[in-house]
C-alpha cells in the first residue's frame, strides 16, 4: 500500500526544457542587480546568501561581479548549490508576483495529484530547487494553483543531496511514514537508486521531451496516467 508519494520536479512533473529556457535565463539576467541592490524586503536574505557564496568560494572579500561569475558557472554546469538555489528562488518569487513567470506542469499532473490525494496518499516534493522555489512553482502553474495538494517540501539544504540514501531516510522519519509505503518519482537513476536503498518504492519517469536520462532497474513510465496506488 502506498501511503505517501514524493515527487521530483524537473523532468518529472515539469519540463526541464521549460526551466532552462525561461526560469534559468530570468534569474541569470538579474544576478548582479539583486546582489548589488536587492529589492525591498529581500536585503537580509540576499546578504545571507552572499555570505554563503563567499564562503563556498573561499573568498570572503569576493565582489559582486566575482560572485555573479561563479553563479553563472554553477547555472551553466547545473550545479545543485544551495546558495544559488536560494537566490534563484527569491528572484523567481518576484517574477511570479509581477506576472513575468508562469510555471509548467505536464497535463497529466493535475489529474494524478487529484487521484492520489483522493485515494488518501500524502503528497510531498523533493527537488534541488529551494523550498521557496518549489512552493512558488506549484502555486503559479499553467494548470492553476496546485500547492494545496502538497503536505511538505524538501530540498538539498534540508535533508541533503538527492543521491544520498540518508536524505530519504530523513524524509521518511519526518513524515512518520514507513519507507516501504513511500513511492518516489524521478527521472534520475542515482536518485531512484538512493531512494530504493533507503527502503522506498520507486518509479522512473522519462518524459518524451525530457533529457536523455536513464532509469534502468526501476519501473518506468512516460506519463502518470494509469499510475495507481
6-46 pLDDT per residue, tens:
999 999 999 988 888 999 999 999 999 999 999 988 999 99
Q: Does the pLDDT value for residue 212 go beyond 90?
A: no
- Exposed, middle or buried by CB within 10 Å (0-12, 13-18, 19+), for 128? buried
* Pair 201, 144 in one domain: yes
Mean pLDDT over residues 115-126, rounded?
97
What pLDDT sits at residue 55?
95
Does a structural domain hold residue 164?
yes
* Pair 118, 77 in one domain: no
179-193 pLDDT per residue, tens:
999 999 999 999 999
What pLDDT sits at residue 10?
93
- Enumerate residues 6+ apart whose C-beta is below 8 A from 135: 147, 153
Mean pLDDT computed over every residue of the chain: 94
* Pair 216, 106 in one domain: yes
Angle at 218 between CA 125 and CA 181, to 5 degrees: 50
pLDDT band at residue 217 using 50, 70 and 90 as cut-offs = very high
Does a structural domain hold residue 36?
yes
Q: Does the pLDDT value for residue 66 go beyond 70?
A: yes
Does a structural domain hold residue 226?
no
Strands 150-154 vs 182-186: parallel, antiparallel or unpaired: unpaired
44-65 pLDDT per residue, tens:
999 999 999 999 999 999 999 9
Does a structural domain hold residue 125?
yes
* Pair 174, 138 in one domain: yes
What pLDDT sits at residue 208?
86
- Exposed, middle or buried by CB within 10 Å (0-12, 13-18, 19+), for 221? middle
Look up the domain containing 42 and give its range: 20-98
Which alpha helices (H) appear in 24-158, and where do they start and end? 24-28, 31-36, 43-57, 64-76, 82-98, 109-118, 131-139
Domain boundary among 98, 131, 165: 98
* Pair 141, 200 in one domain: yes
* Pair 144, 196 in one domain: yes
* Pair 124, 66 in one domain: no
Helix (H) or strand (E) segment spanning residue 194 = helix 189-197
pLDDT band at residue 214 using 50, 70 and 90 as cut-offs = confident
Q: Does the pLDDT value for residue 155 go beyond 70?
A: yes
State the CATH number of the domain containing residue 185: 3.40.50.1000
For residue 205, list its beta bridge partners. Answer: 221
* Pair 42, 128 in one domain: no
* Pair 77, 175 in one domain: no
Domain boundary among 54, 71, 98: 98
Mean pLDDT over residues 214-223, rounded?
92
* Pair 64, 83 in one domain: yes
Does a structural domain hold residue 227?
no
What pLDDT sits at residue 209?
79
For CA atoms 19, 25, 26, 31, give the dihedral sign: positive
Distances (CA, A) of 116 to 24, 109, 143, 171: 31, 10, 17, 19
* Pair 24, 46 in one domain: yes
What pLDDT sits at residue 213?
66
Q: At what angle do helices 64-76 and 82-98 cross, to 10 degrees?
A: 90
Mean pLDDT over residues 124-139, rounded?
95
Q: Does the pLDDT value for residue 211 go beyond 70?
A: no
What pLDDT sits at residue 78?
84
What pLDDT sits at residue 106?
97
Amino acid at each position: 500500500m502506498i501511503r505517501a508519494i514524493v515527487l521530483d520536479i524537473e523532468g518529472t512533473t515539469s519540463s526541464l526544457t521549460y526551466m532552462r529556457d525561461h526560469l534559468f535565463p530570468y534569474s541569470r539576467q538579474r544576478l548582479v542587480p539583486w546582489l548589488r541592490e536587492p529589492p525591498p524586503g529581500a536585503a537580509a536574505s540576499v546578504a545571507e546568501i552572499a555570505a554563503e557564496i563567499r564562503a563556498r568560494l573561499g573568498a570572503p572579500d569576493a565582489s559582486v561581479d566575482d560572485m555573479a561569475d561563479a553563479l553563472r558557472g554553477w547555472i551553466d554546469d547545473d550545479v545543485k548549490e544551495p546558495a544559488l538555489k536560494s537566490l534563484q528562488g527569491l528572484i523567481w518569487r518576484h517574477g511570479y508576483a509581477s506576472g513575468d513567470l508562469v510555471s509548467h506542469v505536464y497535463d497529466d499532473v493535475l489529474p494524478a495529484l487529484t487521484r492520489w490525494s483522493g485515494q488518501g496518499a500524502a503528497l510531498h516534493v523533493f527537488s534541488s530547487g529551494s523550498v521557496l522555489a518549489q512552493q512558488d512553482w506549484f502555486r503559479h502553474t499553467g494548470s492553476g494553483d496546485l500547492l494545496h495538494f502538497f503536505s511538505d517540501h524538501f530540498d538539498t539544504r534540508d535533508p541533503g543531496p538527492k543521491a544520498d540514501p540518508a536524505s530519504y531516510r530523513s524524509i521518511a522519519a519526518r513524515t512518520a511514514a514507513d519507507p516501504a509505503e513511500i513511492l518516489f518519482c524521478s527521472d534520475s537513476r542515482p536518485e531512484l537508486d538512493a531512494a530504493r536503498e533507503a527502503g522506498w518504492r520507486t518509479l522512473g519517469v522519462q518524459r518524451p521531451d525530457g533529457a536523455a536520462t536513464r532509469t534502468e532497474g526501476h519501473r518506468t513510465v512516460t506519463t502518470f496516467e494509469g499510475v495507481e496506488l
